């Protein structure tokens, strides 16, 4: 089978009747910002293809994206770092980049977050465009934007991200998180989301159940996928699932373990992917082949959507090469087994909150 190319832009005419009010507003406002010329590149003109093979990785060519996007302004060796107001943060963006804040959405005729608990909905949270998008409707979710929180997961912010995924009511609109050391580039608490009408390779990877917790949340591990990671699903409600995942995220960041999280299937499944690529870069043990390609293995890349910056790499992209890169970014088998034991022990000692 040859490479299958497709358009990253979204045809609203085909799906208008199936869009939730929240996604309909996002699409409309994002298209408006595109018409104003606020993006560093036109994502609809960027070449994208599905690579043939077992996983069907998605490759997108955005030449020079790493030179145009906002630069990383902190060390990659510490997952937890204090907020630094002297460096770029999202309070400094142009007002035109703000799609809406939740207070504004709550006052609209259609309330997009009716089901969000008051403590979450009342926070001054903003959704901004990502000026360097890798997909259609690529946005940033900034919890309590004026509080200038550093890039670290807490229980409330992760629940907020889960509600955004749930409110989208669309399996092709996912929410992602990158820790520091996991290729977040701004140390100001944020999640990302965009629309890609294809199943991510990680979403269709085989899995193996490890255990089910008392609140009904199942802990699962990926198998036969180049990135070692966990899948969380189940529970009586969204809060149950979010609570377990946020606890594990907090455990990882407090132990200085970089990770990426993908909220999938409108909040019904969460993939948690620990990684070590930044550490390999710092130690000088990363492959020169992949350093030259300048791929940053953030949540989207680890999930199977790889952004390439050079025409040569895009034209020559293959499943074998992408697998080798993802294996290099992932923990080794022994490292993953040790981390898995630590996480399961931690969860067994952390009883679910009533």
What does pTM read for this prediction?
A: 0.91
Which residues have C-beta within 8 Å of that of residue 198, sequence separation ≥ 6? 6, 50, 56, 58, 172
Q: What is the DSSP letter of 105?
A: H
Q: Which two tokens stand for residue 90?
A: 């999202």
Q: What pLDDT, on a 0 to 100 scale, did the predictor assign at position 315?
A: 97
- Residues forming beta bridges with residue 249, ordered by sequence position: none
Higher pLDDT, 121 or 237: 237
Alpha helices in 108-220 (DSSP H): 118-121, 155-168
122 confidence band (pLDDT: 50, 70, 90): very low
Residues above pLDDT 90, as percent of the chain: 81
Which residue in the block uniquely carries the two structure tokens 């679910």?
Answer: 352
Q: What pLDDT, on a 0 to 100 scale, did the predictor assign at position 17?
A: 64
Give Cα 163 to chain centroid, integer Å: 15
Q: What are phi and psi of 267, to 5 degrees?
A: 90, 5
pLDDT at 5 over 80: no
Domains along the sequence of the chain with CATH: 22-350 (3.30.428.70)
Task: Quick: pLDDT tens for 19-53.
Answer: 999 999 999 999 999 999 999 999 999 999 999 99
Q: How far apart are CA 230 and CA 233, in angstroms?
A: 10
Task: Quick: pLDDT tens for 209-254.
Answer: 999 999 999 999 999 999 999 999 999 999 999 999 999 999 999 9
Q: What pLDDT, on a 0 to 100 scale, did the predictor assign at position 350?
A: 76
pLDDT at 203 over 60: yes
Strands 217-222 and 207-212: antiparallel
Residues annotated as part of the active site: 190
pLDDT at 117 over 70: no
Helix, coil or strand: residue 316 = coil
Q: What pLDDT, on a 0 to 100 scale, did the predictor assign at position 120?
A: 45
Average model confidence (pLDDT) across the chain: 89
C-alpha closest to that of 135 among 34, 37, 60: 60
Beta carbons within 10 angstroms of residue 297's beta carbon? 24
Strands 230-234 and 259-264: unpaired
156 confidence band (pLDDT: 50, 70, 90): very high
Helix (H) or strand (E) holding 250: helix 238-254
Helix (H) or strand (E) holding 207: strand 207-212
104 confidence band (pLDDT: 50, 70, 90): very low
CA distance from start to end of the chain = 52
286 confidence band (pLDDT: 50, 70, 90): very high
Q: What pLDDT, on a 0 to 100 scale, did the predictor assign at position 105?
A: 45
pLDDT at 345 over 80: yes
C-alpha closest to that of 175 among 213, 223, 127, 219: 127
């Amino acid at each position: 089978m040859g490479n299958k190319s497709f358009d990253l832009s979204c045809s609203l005419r085909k799906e208008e009747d199936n869009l939730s009010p929240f996604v309909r507003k996002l699409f409309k406002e994002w298209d408006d910002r595109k018409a104003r010329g606020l993006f560093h590149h036109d994502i609809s003109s960027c070449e994208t293809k599905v690579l043939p093979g077992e996983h069907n990785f998605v490759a997108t060519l955005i030449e020079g994206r790493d030179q145009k996007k906002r630069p990383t302004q902190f060390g990659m060796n510490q997952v937890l770092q204090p907020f630094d107001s002297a460096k770029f943060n999202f309070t400094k963006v142009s007002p035109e980049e703000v799609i809406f804040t939740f207070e504004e959405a709550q006052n609209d005729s259609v309330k997009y977050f009716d089901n969000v608990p008051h403590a979450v909905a009342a926070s001054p949270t903003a959704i901004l465009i990502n000026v360097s998008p890798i997909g259609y409707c690529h946005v940033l979710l900034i919890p309590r934007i004026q509080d200038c929180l550093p890039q670290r997961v807490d229980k409330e912010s992760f629940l907020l991200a889960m509600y955004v995924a749930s409110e989208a009511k669309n399996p092709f609109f996912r929410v992602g998180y990158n820790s520091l050391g996991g290729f977040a580039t701004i140390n100001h608490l944020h999640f990302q989301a965009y629309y890609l009408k294809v199943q991510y390779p990680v979403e269709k990877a085989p899995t193996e159940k490890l255990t089910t917790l008392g609140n009904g949340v199942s802990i699962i591990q990926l198998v036969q996928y180049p990135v070692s990671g966990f899948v969380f699903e189940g529970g009586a409600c969204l809060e149950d699932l979010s609570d377990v995942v946020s606890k594990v995220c907090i455990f990882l960041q407090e132990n200085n373990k970089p990770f990426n999280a993908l909220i999938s299937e409108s909040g019904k499944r969460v993939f948690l992917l620990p990684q070590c690529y930044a550490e390999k870069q710092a130690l000088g043990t990363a492959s020169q082949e992949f350093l030259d390609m300048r791929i940053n293995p953030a949540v989207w890349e680890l999930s199977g959507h790889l952004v390439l910056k050079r025409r040569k790499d895009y034209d020559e992209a293959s499943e074998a090469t992408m697998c080798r890169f993802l294996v290099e970014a992932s923990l080794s088998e022994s490292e993953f087994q040790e981390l898995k034991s630590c996480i399961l022990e931690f969860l067994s000692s952390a009883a679910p909150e009533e």
